[in-house]
Structure 1
Amino acid sequence: MMTTPHDEALVVDLHNDLILLVDHFDQRGRPEHFAEFWLPELRSGGVNVQVLPVFIEAQYQSEGALRRTLLLIERIHALAARHPEVAICLTGADVAAAVAAGRIAFVIGLEGAHALGQDPELIGTMYRVGARVVSLAHLGRTHLADGSGFDDSSRGGLTPQGFEVLAEMERLGIVFDISHLGVAGVDDVLARATRPLLATHSGCRAITDMHRNLSDEQIKGIAGLGGVIGVAAAIAPFIDPARPTAARVVDHIEHIASVASIDAVGLGPDFIDDYYAEVYGGRMEIMGVDAVEFVAAEVRRPSDLPKLTAEMVARGFSQTDIAKVLGGNAMRVLDEVMGVGTGG
């Protein structure tokens, strides 16, 4: 059977909230869910490296964030213990070894870092339990920063504790995730950061003007640090509320390449539809976005990822550039930063 550019590339997905659905089913006595649903999906999509963000639902953010975060991280470790097909990785070398062995490399992330509260030193604890990619806010406010959902009101940037956490992440070797930060927070990070970082799941504001997407200047700033923007292919409002097609996703990819460089593009689809369908009856709310605008994205699950490769092939992307977008660029950042401290 002939191989395709997708088959031949290392595929890195920078954002899939699958652990939320795994946890949901595990708590209901259905531990087979990962093996029956997610593992085949990841294999069908050719995913070699999966960043697993720990997202904290609203009901836990104020009072139970630390406990919920640790429980979900433990869920990830238990998942890896049960399934030899996957491996938790702490460094780029770990990822390379896992992929060489035919396993899917899991990288633990924190989406919002609610668990830290107002105690920056807890970032060291998160490092010790395996977190290697971290963002400081979700849509709202944490003790560390304001999320983009506050851009119409406070526009607060990083707090003093947020700056401490940024510095400690760079020292330890935790990749900073700029997705979800408000405009002032993005400016703060780009002014202070010294190492490559990620926007794990974002889009281009020039194509779709909504607060979660990045301006051209922000894209240039991320690229200037050697960073990578993972395009959030699975979230219709980020891509195009009316036409969230694979072709429209590639429009975002092309825009990032034209504004900055092909070396600044990756994939962070944000596969969350199945979780919201199971837990919330399909209703998803994003601050500042009317839920009635939602339509299903064409790239809805990992098995849909080859559609993006097919679209890039149709547009004349070289095999080298396709490989960069699918995973080469993201892996460069993980190799350089993940688990590699600065010695400061």
Structure 2
Amino acid sequence: MGYIDLHCDTLMQAFLAGQKNAVRLEKAMADLERLETGGCAAQFFAIFMPPMAYRARYGDAIPDDETYIRLLRGILQNTVEARPDRLAPAAGAADLERCRREGKIAAFLTLEDGRPVDGKLENLARFREMGVRLISLTWNEPNCLGWPNSRDAETMARGLTPFGRDAVEEMQRLGMLVDVSHLSDGGFWEVARLAKRPFLASHSNCRALCPHPRNLTDEMLRTLGEKGGVAGLNFGPQFLNADPEDRRSTAAAIARHARHMADKGGIDCVALGTDFDGITGEFEIGGPQDMALLADALHKAGFSEDQIGQIFFDNAARVIREGMN
């Protein structure tokens, strides 16, 4: 069964390892070979923008933002050039369908943290021209677009900046997906109010099952479903387990979140956003090669074959079709 994964941080892992492509990465959770083994139909590859703490940790290995974006985009391009028969760049639904016909994995480029937009709407068009088709509005720090998720109630209540509101409307006009994973609760509700096309939480779970502020409340799930969006199931234990000390990520736990999402937001809002290479813990599903374990767990949780197909592929494909140009 082919699947669409809405988020991984594999490009960053390749960059930090000094690799020029992501065909085979020994110390990463995902690479092209494992994506192919696991039956991946489309992978959203994030350019994760390193915070200042990363610069302190890695020093000169982390260049300025523009250089960093160019280098990670280059890693994806190099991977396509190394295996053009297995991977192809994708910018919308037509490319996804073409890749399906040709037996290739569709590679979508995304930006995690909108800080490089730098308060300039023209940068959105520039990033789109570079191939970016999804932007996570924030990471865990405020930026020109808005405020992030937080355990501080005042920060969590803050929403988008005035520029952020303009940027959301411009992204939707350009056909770039608006991603609310990492965004504050206030920001989520502003995006929901502004959105004319589907938006998504590319790698977020259910707050009712795990109280991490990155996860979505039941009301958010209902609204996301009503707006035609999706939430990508995150495989990180810190987003799965109520006990923050529990470092285990199991297929059964992921399936529990899928069931809750479907119950609150509808089956149409459930998708996959593994967060491979951006999470740590003890994993039953340690990479794309293990994805069949999730299909089995979803079946045990009462999902039909058609519903599993929706979670694995159809729901995300619909958002690509309706929200991306």
TM-score by length of 1: 0.84
Q: Distance in 2 between matches of 1:232 and 1:184?
A: 21
Query: Could you tell me how far 1:33 is from its partner in structure 2?
Result: 5.3
| Number of residue pairs the alignment of both structures matches | 308
Q: Which residue among 211, 223, 226 is the counterpart of 1:224?
A: 226
Q: Which residue of 2 aligns with 1:342?
A: none
Q: Which residue of 2 aligns with 1:238?
A: 239
Which structure 1 segments of 5+ residues have no match?
1-6, 277-283, 285-294, 340-344
Q: Which residue of 2 aligns with 1:287?
A: none
Which residue identity is paired with 1:299?
Answer: I
Query: Could you tell me how far 1:300 is from its partner in structure 2?
Result: 2.5
Q: Tell me, yes or no, if the aligned pair for 1:246 and 1:311 is still in contact at 8 Å.
A: yes
Which residue identity is paired with 1:90?
Answer: A
Q: Distance in 1 between matches of 2:161 and 2:82?
A: 40
Q: Secondary structure at the match of 2:319?
A: helix
- Residues 33 and 116 (structure 1), Cα distance of their counterparts in 2 relative to 1, 3 Å cut: closer
- Identity over the aligned pairs, expressed in percent? 31
Please show how residues 158-197 of structure 1 align to structure 2 within 5 Å: 158-197=160-199
Q: Once the two structures are superposed, what CA deviation does each residue of 1:260-312 show, in whole Å capped at 9, x if it has no partner?
A: 21111001010126xx8xxxxxxx6xxxxxxxxxx423222111211110111
Q: RMSD of aligned C-alpha atoms?
A: 2.0
Which residue identity is paired with 1:48?
Answer: A
Q: Which residue among 310, 313, 317 is the counterpart of 1:327?
A: 313
Q: Distance in 2 between matches of 1:150 and 1:122?
A: 31
**Is the deviation greater in 316-325 or in 60-69?**
60-69
Q: Which residue of 2 aligns with 1:289?
A: none
**Regions of 4+ moved over 6 Å:** 60-63
Q: Distance in 2 between matches of 1:41 and 1:113?
A: 29
Which residue identity is paired with 1:248?
Answer: A
Q: Once the two structures are superposed, what CA deviation does each residue of 1:49-90 show, in whole Å capped at 9, x if it has no partner?
A: 000111011148999223322322232223212221110111
- Does 1:15 pair with 2:7? yes
Query: Could you tell me how far 1:154 is from its partner in structure 2?
Result: 2.5
Q: Which residue of 2 aligns with 1:291?
A: none
Which residue identity is paired with 1:231?
Answer: L
Query: Could you tell me how far 1:198 is from its partner in structure 2?
Result: 1.3
**Is the deviation greater in 322-331 or in 69-78?**
69-78
- Does 1:92 pair with 2:93? yes
Q: Tell me, yes or no, if the aligned pair for 1:66 and 1:114 is still in contact at 8 Å.
A: no
Q: Tell me, yes or no, if the aligned pair for 1:137 and 1:146 is still in contact at 8 Å.
A: yes
Q: Distance in 2 between matches of 1:301 and 1:271?
A: 7
- Residues 71 and 32 (structure 1), Cα distance of their counterparts in 2 relative to 1, 3 Å cut: closer
Q: Tell me, yes or no, if the aligned pair for 1:133 and 1:175 is still in contact at 8 Å.
A: yes
**Is the deviation greater in 151-160 or in 97-106?**
151-160
Q: Secondary structure at the match of 1:96?
A: helix
Q: Tell me, yes or no, if the aligned pair for 1:299 and 1:305 is still in contact at 8 Å.
A: yes
- Residues 90 and 33 (structure 1), Cα distance of their counterparts in 2 relative to 1, 3 Å cut: closer
Q: Which residue of 2 aligns with 1:268?
A: 273
**Is the deviation greater in 32-41 or in 130-139?**
32-41
Q: Which residue of 2 aligns with 1:144?
A: 145
